[in-house]
A and B are shown apart, each in its own frame.
Chain A
Amino acid sequence: MALIFITGNSHSAAMRKGLSLLEGDLHQLASTVRFEIFGLGSDFALDDGFFREAGKYLLLNSGHLHEARFTRLPPDPMPFACGFCLPQWHEFSWSASWKLEAGGSPINTPYAEISAVQMRKAFETKKRHSLRALVYLKEQRHNIFAIECPYPFKHRTDSDSWDLPTVLAADNFCRQLFRSICKESGMPLVRVPEHCLDGDGFMKPEYSAGKDDKFHGNAKFGETMLREILKMDCVIDGVRE
């Protein structure tokens, strides 16, 4: 039986919730695949040095074991494949959206014009630990893949002054950046499927964790992403075994 282990930031919670919706289908695959899903904590935790490199593994530093039930990655027993919900960029892109407000209302703030280079370096610097974790495990020849976070939800803009195109453009900038980083390092990436998006390119509301949660997907989103994971080349070999 192929064990697919999923961990990472707070978006891994949606995967865990989605697992129950997938149970029927998994039942058919029960003899070949099993998911284990445990989050490591929010990105605030993962932006810090949350691990140390130890041979073929990453050892989690104490203080970064939020809800983790393991102390090393990949955990024991060795999974067939490991998926990481990393990194979460919404908070970052939200701030960075100032850059894309050229001529917009915040032009008189000190933050109006930020170059693409600044955004890229800020992203790479802030996310260097989580990106390094992925790359290191890849270098150790583990079967690793990354999982995208949801696109922005429209209701997220309700309490903020940013216009929708700005938010989307900022998110797109960071998303493309993460995709290119994955591509450069040969990291398979589970993308959010197009059918989850509305005509404007935002997440459809039916995937939202709720009005009070502006960032996370719900069980349906988690289920969708798990189905995408099952289609991954790096996973499908295990499912077929």
Chain B
Amino acid sequence: MKLSEHPYRSQPEKAYWSKAVSVKHPLDIDQWYEPKFEIGRKPIATAGSCFAQHIGRVLRNSGYRFLDVEPAPDFLPAELHEEFGYGMYSARYGNVYSSRQLLQLIKQALGEFSPEESSWNLGQGVVDPFRPTIESEPFANEAEMRASRIHHLNRVAELFSRVKVFVFTLGLTEVWASRQDGAVFPLCPGTAGGSFDGGRHHLLNLTVRDVVQDLVEFIHRVRGINRGVKILLTVSPVPLVATATANHVVVATQYSKSVLRAAAGELCQRFAFCDYFPSYEIISSPPLRGQFYNPDMRTVSNFGVEHVMRQFLKAHPALSAGPTAKQDLAGATIDAMKIHCDEELLSGFGPA
């Protein structure tokens, strides 16, 4: 009896678990990703949760036209750059953990939104609630912080008008927000400045619909000023440091990552200019057996970063004539432990 034709017959090997996974060493699993578009020499920029710093570093070292619209001033020694948020991303926005934060960033940069809670006291100085750890010490006063923010947002506006490939790494769904005007903060008020007030602040745990809507609104704005920009989404494989929900942190993590992954998938189905790079799956999916996590089973090892970025460079080969991709990855490995992850602050607040 001859079976009829059906869609599975024409599927490639990678579509079959038995051929793509079961018979392969985990490190030999390949074809993780087929890009929808080339990056080539297009200006590229990154933002997102702390894992995005690895992507930015590799892009920067691989000959891509990596945009950095807020480079460190020439008098600042290189060893201080990270301490002041330089070189982490394409501008000094620090970690942008959520879709809501990204949407807020572009709204602020375009002058559409000015949050009411616009400074946090810390010690004798003030911090910017929307990038509270961007400086290693508080600003001397509010005027200085505001001047820095105005400059920063001007640079962000320029970034969004110039970038042609914007890489955004989705990190969290748990977001602290103002009850007054919906402003969202990358860190809970009180953890890195300011003070928490249940009457003014509340926790949002974004849904798939929320994330999709945030990103659609972001895309609408960024393509409004920069028609040709393409979006490359990733989901951070790094679990939550802590949850503010009633759930176990692992359950909360799974919710968060599932929402983010689903939202990224929906957006990529909807928009031809939107693509997804599976760093989340390459690190955290079952065939990899958790081998890329450090013993805390949260942070990603240098080896893991190297592996995931190797997959990226297979799809988007390094453009530099000088350093090879291998060397670039070695650079990423050396620096892997240096990424700036202010979410880590939360780990110090648990019960004794």
Contact = CB atoms under 8 A, between A and B. Distances in A.
A115 B148 contact: yes
A167 to B, nearest CB: 14
A126 B147 contact: no
Interface in A103-144: 107-108, 110-118, 121-122, 125-126
Contact of A108 (B75, B77, B139, B154): B154
B73 A115 contact: no
A61 interface: no
Given A107-B151, A125-B80, A117 B71 contact: no
Nearest to B145: A115
A95 interface: yes
A102 interface: yes
B80 A117 contact: no
A125 B73 contact: no
Contacts of A113: 147-148, 150-152
A98 interface: yes
Chain A contact patch, size range: 20 to 34
A225 to B, nearest CB: 26
Contact of B136 (A108, A111, A117): A117
Contacts of B76: 114, 118, 122
A118 B135 contact: yes
A122 B151 contact: no
B83 interface: yes
Given A92-B75, A98-B73, A115 B80 contact: no
Contacts of A126: 75, 77
Chain B contact patch, size range: 20 to 34
Contact of A96 (B73, B135, B150): B73
Nearest to B158: A108
B144 interface: yes
Nearest to A113: B151
Contacts of B139: 115-117
Residue among A98, A113, A121 having the largest count of chain B Cβ atoms under 10 Å? A113
Contacts of B155: 110
A216 to B, nearest CB: 20
A84 B140 CA distance: 31
A117 B134 CA distance: 12
A114 B140 contact: no
Interface in B142-176: 144, 147-148, 150-152, 154-155
Interface string A77-89: 0000000000000
Contacts of B144: 115-116
A176 to B, nearest CB: 13
B146 to A, nearest CB: 9
B135 A110 contact: no
Contacts of A125: 77, 79-80
B138 to A, nearest CB: 8
A116 B140 contact: yes
B74 interface: yes
Contacts of B140: 115-117
A152 to B, nearest CB: 16
A41 B75 CA distance: 20
Contacts of B150: 113
A102 B74 CA distance: 18
B217 interface: no
Interface in B180-209: none
B179 to A, nearest CB: 30
Contacts of A111: 73-74
B84 A118 contact: yes
Contacts of A95: 73-75
A126 B138 CA distance: 21
**10 pairs of A and B residues whose beta carbons are closest in the complex:** A113-B151, A95-B75, A117-B137, A113-B148, A111-B73, A125-B77, A122-B76, A113-B147, A112-B151, A116-B140
21 contacts: A92-B75, A98-B73, A102-B147, A108-B154, A110-B69, A110-B70, A113-B152, A114-B76, A116-B139, A117-B136, A117-B137, A117-B138, A117-B140, A118-B73, A118-B80, A122-B73, A122-B76, A122-B77, A122-B80, A125-B77, A126-B75
Given A110-B69, A118-B76, A122-B77, 20 more contacts: A92-B75, A95-B73, A95-B75, A96-B73, A107-B154, A112-B151, A114-B73, A115-B84, A115-B140, A115-B144, A118-B73, A118-B135, A121-B84, A121-B136, A122-B75, A122-B80, A125-B77, A125-B79, A125-B80, A126-B77
